[in-house]
Amino acid sequence: EAGVAQSPRYKIIEKRQSVAFWCNPISGHATLYWYQQILGQGPKLLIQFQNNGVVDDSQLPKDRFSAERLKGVDSTLKIQPAKLEDSAVYLCASNAPRGGLSDEQFFGPGTRLTVL
Amino acid sequence: AQSVAQPEDQVNVAEGNPLTVKCTYSVSGNPYLFWYVQYPNRGLQFLLKYITGDNLVKGSYGFEAEFNKSQTSFHLKKPSALVSDSALYFCAVRSYASGGSYIPTFGRGTSLIVHP
């Protein structure tokens, strides 16, 4: 089966610019996650969707970050405006159909963002 | 709040020798524990998980992990290391958190280097 797809793979922008990342999860996976992975740290959950509804966005900096999952399939994460500290790899992951706590996540290759 | 600690930034081992990558956790409820591996420029890949039952769980590529409730640990092990095992390893936990959330929490990662 096809894996989690993300684009672009790399993005370089200047601070105060806007950027958007796209994710297409594995077909049939109801739960979708966006993570931020700063160099030298583990992934940090930004937002979790179940179908097209938000399950948890408590760690999403809502003043500048937004995410949507229209139609419950692919998703877009946006940063507007970007700051230097947003430089990181943004990972998208999805869960097996049940999307439960005990299910492992399947990760995409990530988008490496550099903010200058 | 739940947390995961990986006390070693780097583990060095000779090929053919046994390896251990350490992980300890702190949660308020019953934990669901996971190990993931990350190769350069790629997303995380699932290795194994502990949900309930036997404290020794076996996973992909010959890896296994032992759940120790009294020590709140979930160390990753392999009897005989391969050079191809060199990668970044992440421990993760999910459990009930205050406010009703189940945010996946990752450790900061341990770089495993297997020398020929």
For residue B17, give the DSSP letter. S
Phi-psi region of A73 (alpha: psi -120 to 50; beta: other; left: phi over 0): alpha
The band of B1, judged by pLDDT with boundaries at 50, 70 and 90, is confident
Residues 6+ apart with CB under 8 A from A83: A15, A64, A115
Helix (H, G, I), strand (E, B) or coil at B86: coil
* A42: closest chain B residue by CA: B108
pLDDT score recorded for residue B43: 85
Average pLDDT over residues A105-112: 95
Q: Measured between CA atoms, how close is A84 to chain B, in angstroms?
A: 21
**pLDDT for B45-63, tens place per residue?**
999 999 888 999 999 999 9
Contact flag A105-B44 (C-beta cutoff 8 Å) = yes
Question: Which of A4, A43, A48 is nearest residue B106 as measured by Cβ atoms?
Answer: A43
| B86: its two tokens | 């060199």
Question: Which of A40, A45, A91 is nearest residue B43 as measured by Cβ atoms?
Answer: A91
pLDDT score recorded for residue A1: 64
The band of A99, judged by pLDDT with boundaries at 50, 70 and 90, is low
**What is the rounded distance in angstroms from the CA atom of residue A84 to the CA atom of residue A1?**
37
Contact flag B44-A91 (C-beta cutoff 8 Å) = yes
Question: Which of B43, B51, B108 is nearest residue A110 as measured by Cβ atoms?
Answer: B43
pLDDT score recorded for residue B101: 62
| B13: its two tokens | 């081992």
Burial class (CB in 10 A: 0-12, 13-18, 19+), B116: exposed
pLDDT score recorded for residue B29: 82
pLDDT score recorded for residue A97: 60
pLDDT score recorded for residue A64: 97
A94 contacts A33 by C-beta, under 8 angstroms: yes
Residue B101: count other Cβ atoms within 10 Å of its Cβ: 15
**A37-51, B72-86, B89-103: which has the minimum mean pLDDT?**
B89-103
**What is the rounded distance in angstroms from the CA atom of residue A77 to the CA atom of residue B19?**
38
